[in-house]
Structure 1
Amino acid sequence: MNSSNSSSLFHLNPDIEMRFFGFTYCIVAMFLPPLFFIVIKAVNQLDRESPNMAYELMNIINCSQLTQSITHFLTGPGLIFPNIVKRYGFIVNVIGCTMNTFWIADFPMITLLAVGRILIFTNRIKAQKFPIYMKIFIFLSWSWITFVLIYGSITQNLIFVSPGWDYDFTVPYAEMFSDLEKSLSLTCLAISYVSYILMAILIYKRKSIMICASSRKNEIAILLQSTFVTTYITAMIFAWHQALFSVVSFFDVENKRNQAILNCCLIFHCYVNPSMTLICNKRVELNLAILDESFYFREQMNSRTRTRTMNIVLVLLTSCSRPMKVIRNS
């Protein structure tokens, strides 16, 4: 009887701590899809009203992080029910590879957004459309991301190691992909930091121009948002890859509980960008309010229509249920 239970797909993990981590991942990640749906819809509506390549890049990043949030949520059941990992290991590792690949995809888009904002702010390019070299950069970036996803899924170079994921260095070129990920993330973050420092300098230089007052406030809000997001991601990379910075040692990354905390920080990272977009970008917040009012108005109209329809039906039913009068000849 015990052996049949232990072979069941939904047999609970005997390690209570791992079960707790699994439930935590699911609970923390479950609110991300509706949040991203709201933000993506609001930003997309803004882009329709006044086309801007920054809005398009923001939604590319949002869609990338939405995919990450879904895969984070799917990580939880693997900890709660370990037989899922044993029986469907290939699919589970594909989910992990997808999560890691879209995490990598964030970096070139974040960097392009930072550089693009400076070019727009200095009137080097127009905000309405992508220059050809940016289109080429986006195409090359996503071509690389697609290759990493396909290659990783086939070779299974990323595996589920409770309570998270890690590269399987027994797979050919897995170490090379790991080093490329570190190099790409650190390079992109460095370029983003430099870009936003330059942005701060440019905003300061233009502070005396009254005509740019509203634009300057918007740019300062965007600068604060981007600085917070970039700092958060940098802190996570420092925590995950302490071996690269031997001088600094915050905690033991081999400890399972610490790994679970880092994984939760990785899930919370998906909350940072959309939340800061709503807080710092007044146009997105205003557009969200308009969408909410529009939805409320449609719901009210639908409710009234349903009420009228029900009243008509009730009148008809009532009239049909009344007994017919029989007219007798006197």
Structure 2
Amino acid sequence: MNSTFLLQTNHDVAMIEYGVAYFLIAFPLIPLFFVIMKAIQLKCRESPNITYILMNMVNFCQLGQAFSHLISGPMLILPQLLIKLDVIVRIIGCVMNSLWIADFPLMTLLAVTRILIFSNVIGSNQFPILIKLILCSIITWALFLIIAGSFTQNFLLVTPGWDYDFTVSNAETFATLEVIISFACLSMSYVSYISMVYLIYAKKNTVGCVHSRKNEISILLQSTFVTTYITIMIFIWHQSLFSMVSFIDMDNQRNQAILNCCLILHCYVNPILTLVCNKSIRNELLKLLGIRKGKPYNNGVVSKLSSIHPTETSPN
């Protein structure tokens, strides 16, 4: 009888619809990230590159977010189960939010690393101690957020979306820190990619930059789209801190559900752009799926743009 009670569906039809939508949107992300991360791992094994490692760390953070969104669907459909597993669901929410926050400095570190490689400051197969220290700091901060959030239970599924539980004393502080970190990292990432566009343009007549114009446009469009998309979501999600978006009624459950769907769709941006703009990883994925036969490894010249959109070129 108790198990039957827990499996009772929500009387609110809208919540069932939102739950089904979350599940259907998030589910394809799991296999998508799996094959892309595997393809990047295989490519890194073939041609060691620090950017591949950082790319997979970003993918791991977004995979964790996708998994959390995936299970939030059934929780909306089965509200009694949500009540029963409230503590566990809050912990999952804290993990998801911590990975969302860690995503930003990781993307910034990836952008800066690409510039350093392109500028010949470091080699693509090097892992400088400074980058290791920054990476350790990001991981430590993420673990702290997970532990602190899980202990204080400061994040919850408010149905139909996720948010900080502002009845918890430290929730507002963590929410403010999240906004500061997010915008600081977004700004640094965007400036880094704009700088990269300039560097490519400045070197467009060198051997490694034959297709520089295409790369300039590609990088500029990617960085602009991602920065704009995420910035809009942050403004709306933290509406209490930004009065200029108060015209959007976030007390409306439909608007909350739309925002949550946008958060899930955000997880598609990175893997899709990776496949569209990164030919070497796209080819590795096709080989992994058996669509394209693998070619014998040729230790040829690697393009200077390999740290941005890795592409192997034949030796002269």
Same fold (TM over 0.5): yes
Contact 1:160 1:166 in 2 (8 A): yes
1:161-310 paired onto structure 2 within 5 Å:
161-213=158-210, 217=214, 221-249=218-246, 251-293=248-290
Cα distance, 1:249–1:138 mapped onto 2, change above 3 Å: same
Inter-partner Cα distance in structure 1 for 2:17 and 2:129: 49
CA contact (8 A) 1:57 1:109 kept: yes
Q: Deviation of residue 237 (structure 1)?
A: 1.2
Given the superposition, is the C-alpha separation of residues 56 and 256 from structure 1 closer, same or farther in structure 2, using an over 3 Å criterion? same
Instruction: For 1:119, give the aligned amino acid.
Output: L
Identity of aligned residues (%): 54
CA contact (8 A) 2:64 2:99 kept: yes
Rounded to whole Å, the distance in 2 between the matches of 1:166 and 1:154 is: 16
Kept in 1, the 8 Å contact 2:115–2:196? The answer is yes
Give the Cα separation in 2 of the matches to 1:284 and 1:139: 26
Tell me the CA shift for residue 206 of structure 1: 1.4
SS of match in other structure, 2:281: helix
Structure 1: distance between partners of 2:51 and 2:38: 15
Aligned-partner Cα distance in 1 for 2:278–2:93: 32
Rate the CA distance shift 1:151–1:5 in 2: closer, same or farther, 3 A: closer
Task: Give the counterpart letter for 2:290 in structure 1.
Answer: E
Q: Which amino acid aligns with 1:116?
A: T
What secondary structure is seen at the aligned counterpart in 1 of 2:59? helix
User: Which structure 2 residues correspond to residues 3-152 of structure 1 after superposition, within 5 A?
Assistant: 8-152=5-149
Distance in 2 between the 1:6 and 1:34 partners?
A: 31
Question: Is the partner of 2:157 in helix, strand or coil?
Answer: strand
- Counterpart of 2:81, as a letter, is I
* Farther-moved stretch of structure 1 (148-157 vs 200-209): 200-209
- Which secondary structure state, in structure 1, belongs to the residue aligned with residue 31 of structure 2? helix
Contact in 2 for aligned 1:222/1:281 (Cα 8 Å): no
TM-score, normalised by the number of residues in structure 2: 0.87
Shift of 1:151: 1.1
* SS at 1:293 equivalent: coil
TM-score (norm: length of structure 1): 0.83
Change in CA separation of 1:129 and 1:185 when aligned onto 2, cut-off 3 Å: same
Structure 2, unaligned runs of 5 or more? 295-316
Distance 2:49 2:247 in 1: 41
Structure 1 residues not aligned, in runs of 5+: 298-330
Deviation digits for residues 148-186 of structure 1, max 9, x if unmatched?
Answer: 101111110112211012111222321111111111001
Per-residue Cα deviation, 1:185-207 (whole angstroms, up to 9, x for no partner): 01000111111111111111112
| Cα deviation 1:45-80 (Å, max 9, x = unaligned) | 111111111110000011111111111000011110
Larger Rg: 1
- Cα deviations across residues 284-315 of structure 1 (Å, max 9, x unaligned)? 11111222238989xxxxxxxxxxxxxxxxxx
Q: Secondary structure at the match of 1:247?
A: helix
Greater fraction of residues in helix: 1
